[in-house]
Amino acid sequence: MNGKPVSYPRKRRFDSIKAPLIGALMGFAFCAHSVALFAGNTVVDVPGVLRALGFPGGVFDPVHAMDYQFDPAIEAKVGRFDRDSTVDTAEELLTALHYSPAAVGKKTRESVERLLPPGREGALRLCSLWLLKSADTPSHGARYREAVRYIGERSKLRAGEILDFYEQKVAEMLAGINPGPLTARELSELKEHLSLYMISPSDDKAVGAFTAWFLSVHGRSVSKSGAVIQILSGYSSSLADTMKKLIVR
């Protein structure tokens, strides 16, 4: 990551866009492409964790994941967050291991915990990992938010705590964007609109605001809109594809 993390002001329109996600996370009783490839990901070093677990090259392999003996109740619950009822994605594996640490030996567990800490810190990072996955593929967002709710319940996290942590991680990720041909003002606007989208990717206001901004950039420069699409591909393949379809007809 290059540069310092940026913090965006909590504007009224930002809060109105964020509200639906808070509502979704508050649906349970709080007690007080893989996202590993996201540009500038400071949430979890997923390839590093996978290497510590013995996955060659830090690449997830669902067959290898079958070697782990998780608590049956945890596996049944976590396995349904993505695809079928088995633990067959990197995010599911990390979540299951967080709540079923006995599935690996002590030495391996210590290596993993250096990258994904136990307790609240690790739980907050896992929540952000699933929220990033939701931003990448909003069509599956309901399932991924269920993962966030599960982690929140298990680790007694507050909804505001989860979102504050996620917002900070999004800001850190966006701080490292290579501006390419974009002006300083355009880069600032891109970060603001993309941040709003990543906080609540299913909200029409966030999508509409980004679309309007993107089309204004495209109207000024085709090369700049192309650069924006390239940047987006590192954060949300869904949003990148949507913007590409707007200008390639």
pTM, rounded to two decimals: 0.81
Q: How many domains does the chain have?
A: 2
Integer Cα distance of 44 and 173 in angstroms: 12
Task: Please check whether residues 163 and 204 belong to one and the same domain.
Answer: no
**61 burial via Cβ count (<10 Å: 0-12, 13-18, 19+):** middle
Task: Please check whether residues 130 and 199 belong to one and the same domain.
Answer: no
Q: Specify the long-range contacts of residues 115-124, CB closer than 8 Å, at least 24 apart.
A: 115/44, 115/45, 115/48, 115/49, 115/52, 116/44, 116/49, 119/155, 120/155, 120/157, 122/98, 123/98, 123/151, 123/152, 123/154, 123/155, 123/157, 124/157, 124/161, 124/162, 124/165
Is residue 111 in a domain? yes
Give, rounded to a whole angstrom, the gap between the first and last alpha carbons of the chain: 35
Domain that holds residue 188: 177-247
Is residue 5 in a domain? no
Provide the residue-wise pLDDT of the chain in tens; the chain has 249 residues: 333 333 334 443 344 444 444 444 444 333 224 444 454 567 899 999 999 999 999 999 989 888 888 888 999 999 999 877 789 999 999 999 999 988 999 999 999 999 999 999 999 999 999 999 999 989 898 999 999 999 999 999 999 999 999 999 999 999 989 999 999 999 999 999 999 999 999 899 999 999 999 999 999 999 999 999 999 998 899 999 999 999 986
Task: Please check whether residues 41 and 55 belong to one and the same domain.
Answer: yes
Task: Please check whether residues 151 and 217 belong to one and the same domain.
Answer: no
